[in-house]
Amino acid sequence: MSEALLAKYSASVPRYTSYPTAPHFGPDVDCGKYAQWLSALTAGQTLSLYLHIPYCDRLCWFCACHTKHTLKYEPIAAYLVALKREIEAVAMRVDKGCRVTAVHFGGGSPTMVKPDDMRDLMALMRRLFTFDDKAEISVEIDPNDLDDARYDALADIGMTRASLGVQDFNPVVQKSINRIQTFEHTKSVVDAVRARGVHSVNCDILYGLPHQTEETLAATVRDILSLDPDRIALFGYAHVPWMKKHQTMIPEAALPDSEARYRQMRMAAEMLLAAGYQAIGIDHFAKPGDTLAVAARAGRLRRNFQGYTDDAADALIGFGASSIGQLPQGYVQNMPATGEYERMTGGETGLAAVRGIALSADDRLRADVIEQVMCNFGFDFAPLRDAHGALADAVIAEAQAFARADRDGIVTLDSTGIRLTETGKPFTRIVASVFDTYLGNGKGRHSIAV
């Protein structure tokens, strides 16, 4: 791909794990509104639960997650008390006929939670919510946190999927991002969770890191493939030091430029495809028999705050500081500051919602279009009209105008719909942004698209 084309389409745009995106949430969605939305859930609807643990015992400089560093357990113990209060407050408002089909522990480092505390947390949720017999339980794992007791606790809570952040195994790259994690240690974790019955292992790889080259990245990909993970995420490092101050520790002069990032991405993707993985959206890969790959082939791929997913739940409920939920009426986000979060959960409602957005008909239409672009690399016009009526005509006209102005072979257009070409797929986020009416209002800064 030409340097000129990369420069033209490497603008800073959202990752579109939601629409509207989080910078456009506002204070109108508060605890009272959230309580109403929860109470409106009805028997038979399905729930996905996300629990955020915003603590790490080391701070990786590349990370853009909401987390903080601690070497003491006391802050985590106090936080868990508040987390349980919120879980109880939500459960008392949700119809017991709703069924939990997925639980995801994210962070931060959920594996910092002590074994008995992890068991207690899951026992509380199982007591208060109705769980599907086949509910998926996934946990983000920091290999440096684990010991036999924690492995056993993860087995006891029914973990079905382990997600390991690897990023890069090269020692120079690891030192520059403060993420020391050997291949041997990582392999021992994969072996240990599989020995305890976990049926799915995910590994995350980053490209675009400081001191990273195609050679170092290729070595990491080969090591990852030797672990035989079921899914692999190949993310581009998002350098956003204005939002995450610890990223100022990253040596910017050592970061690859856009062309080098693109070459790294293409090389790693080709290695994964050659190894038999199926490409999922813009940055995920899965074995053909994995449920994510099956969903992609069937047109059931979804996108939420965890990225690409086959989770088809009617509502995503977020627990913990800064967590975001998605309900039929719109999005809701909790208080990010842990101290304030703990105070709010001790209040009258037991909830900690501070902002969000209620979806308009136009928001739903554009969210549908953007998700289809991100998941399926295009959309068909007739189903859009069937789902959204005459409102769809304006978005279809925008798609047609973009396609007719395209001189770079980014998309194709016919009477049935619009599709990204192979040339255009690296710029999927750019194409999605064409339908984002919020993007131009100046709220939020974003990472580059490639």
* DSSP-assigned letters across all residues of 1-50: --HHHHHHH--B----SSSS-GGG-BTTS-HHHHHHHHHT--TT-EEEEE
Nearest 5°: phi and psi at 215? -70, -45
CA distances to 112, 181, 363, 413 from 436, in Å = 38, 39, 9, 20
Q: Residue 239 has what pLDDT?
A: 80
CA–CA distance, 280 with 298 (Å, rounded to integer): 12
CA–CA distance, 154 with 162 (Å, rounded to integer): 9
CATH topology of domain 361-438: Arc Repressor Mutant, subunit A (1.10.10)
At 450, is the pLDDT very low, low, confident or very high (cuts 50, 70, 90)?
A: low
Mean pLDDT to the nearest integer, 279-285:
96
Residue 312 is classified by DSSP as -
Q: Residue 448 has what pLDDT?
A: 56
Q: pTM to 2 decimals?
A: 0.93
CA-closest candidate to residue 373, choices 321, 424, 322:
424
Q: Domain residues of the chain, as ranges? A: 19-325, 361-438
Helix%, strand%, coil% for the chain, nearest 5: 45, 20, 35
CA–CA distance, 73 with 114 (Å, rounded to integer): 9
Q: How far is CA 221 from the centre of its chain?
A: 21
At 241, is the pLDDT very low, low, confident or very high (cuts 50, 70, 90)?
A: confident
Mean pLDDT of the chain: 94
CATH topology of domain 19-325: pyruvate-formate lyase- activating enzyme (3.80.30)
At 417, is the pLDDT very low, low, confident or very high (cuts 50, 70, 90)?
A: very high
Q: What is the pLDDT of residues 287-329, one digit of tens each?
A: 999 999 999 999 999 999 888 999 999 999 999 999 999 999 9
Q: Residue 444 has what pLDDT?
A: 52
Mean pLDDT to the nearest integer, 104-126:
96
Q: How far is CA 151 from the centre of its chain?
A: 24
Q: What is the pLDDT of residues 61-86, one digit of tens each?
A: 777 778 888 989 999 999 999 999 99
Q: Which residues of 364-393 are buried (b: 16+ CB within 10 A; e: fewer)?
A: bbbbbbbbbbbbbbbbebeebeeebeeebe
Torsion of CA 161, 167, 170, 171, to 10 degrees: -90
Q: Residue 5 has what pLDDT?
A: 84
Q: What is the pLDDT of residues 156-168, one digit of tens each?
A: 999 999 999 999 9
pLDDT beyond 70 at 442: no
At 12, is the pLDDT very low, low, confident or very high (cuts 50, 70, 90)?
A: confident
CA–CA distance, 182 with 170 (Å, rounded to integer): 9
Residue type, 142: D
CA–CA distance, 450 with 448 (Å, rounded to integer): 6
